[in-house]
Amino acid sequence: MKVALLLTIPILLFSKIHYAKVEPYERYIIKSAVSGEIILSKIELEGKIIKHAKIVQIDDKLDKIELSTSKEKLKIIDNMLDINQKTLIATKESLQRQKDYYERIEGLLTIPASKKDNAFYNYISTKTKYLSIKEKLENLKQEKLNLKYKINLLKDRISKKSIYIKNRFLYKLLVHKRDFVNIGTPIAKIDNLSKAKLTIFIENDELDNIKSKKVYIDGKETNYKISKIWKTADDKFISSYRAEIIMDKPKYRFSTLLKVELK
């Protein structure tokens, strides 16, 4: 009878107990993509959930001046292209006439050699002018491409100097006004609090059918499942495997310690 009674005791009672802290779904560090002096740092927004706000501004005054100047240069180049294109068309017409005239008198014995020479030189001169204008047009087109690329670079650099966050928790600002940052300098630590996660460390004998096991939190059954399991043992807990449980926006306060069981 005692043996039978023992066999009826649910094996669930022998599930191991884990403890996990309620952590943000993700935490990441924003790093500067450009260099410059910090002219705005919203330290007062630390520790707040921000719907949409600029938290840091890197000085972009000279970039904006250069951008404005480059746009004006682009307009000038466009005007020069238009003028030279019209000049090229007119020169091409003149070139064709010079060529036709020279070819018409070249074989005539009644035309003096000096007049033929003048016609030839005029034809060659006009052709040289035509080719020179064509070359200038190609150089202007190349200059325009370079300038458009520069404008896009400036726009990109300016955009990266204004750092915004949206629907995120500003955990910590790492820079202050008048600091100078380089590319890769950490700017802020940001948390995504739309969800939460629990990290537990499970032993090898718990891995069997782990995906089908129910997750109990503080003794209550939940609909959560193990979301991710590391395939190699943890560096710190060398006999255990790291596992994560992703939770909906939690009713628990973040950093609360919860009891977790897998049954």
Do 204 and 241 meet the contact criterion of CB atoms below 8 Å apart?
Answer: yes
At residue 5, the pLDDT reads 40
Do 242 and 230 meet the contact criterion of CB atoms below 8 Å apart?
Answer: yes
Do 166 and 224 meet the contact criterion of CB atoms below 8 Å apart?
Answer: no
Along the 263 residues of the chain, how does pLDDT read in single tens digits?
Answer: 444 343 334 444 456 899 999 999 999 999 999 999 999 999 999 999 999 999 999 999 999 999 999 999 999 999 999 999 999 999 999 999 999 998 999 888 888 999 988 999 999 999 999 999 999 999 999 999 999 999 999 999 999 999 999 999 999 999 999 999 999 999 999 999 999 999 999 888 888 888 888 999 999 999 999 989 888 888 887 788 999 999 987 787 888 999 999 98
The token duo for 173 is 């600002």
* Residue in the block written with tokens 């840091």: 56
Say what the pTM is: 0.78
The counts of H helices and E strands in the chain are: 3, 12
**Domains of the chain and any CATH numbers:** 11-35+182-262 (2.40.30), 61-160 (1.10.287)
Sign of torsion, CA 152 158 163 166?
A: negative
Q: How do beta strands 240-247 and 215-217 pair?
A: unpaired
Q: At what angle do helices 61-106 and 113-160 cross, to 10 degrees?
A: 160
The token duo for 73 is 């240069």
> In what helix (H) or strand (E) does residue 125 lie, and over which residues does it extend?
helix 113-160
Q: How do beta strands 180-181 and 36-41 pair?
A: antiparallel
Interatomic CA distance for residues 154 and 160, integer angstroms = 10
Helix (H, G, I), strand (E, B) or coil at 45: helix
Interatomic CA distance for residues 209 and 181, integer angstroms = 50
Interatomic CA distance for residues 197 and 250, integer angstroms = 9
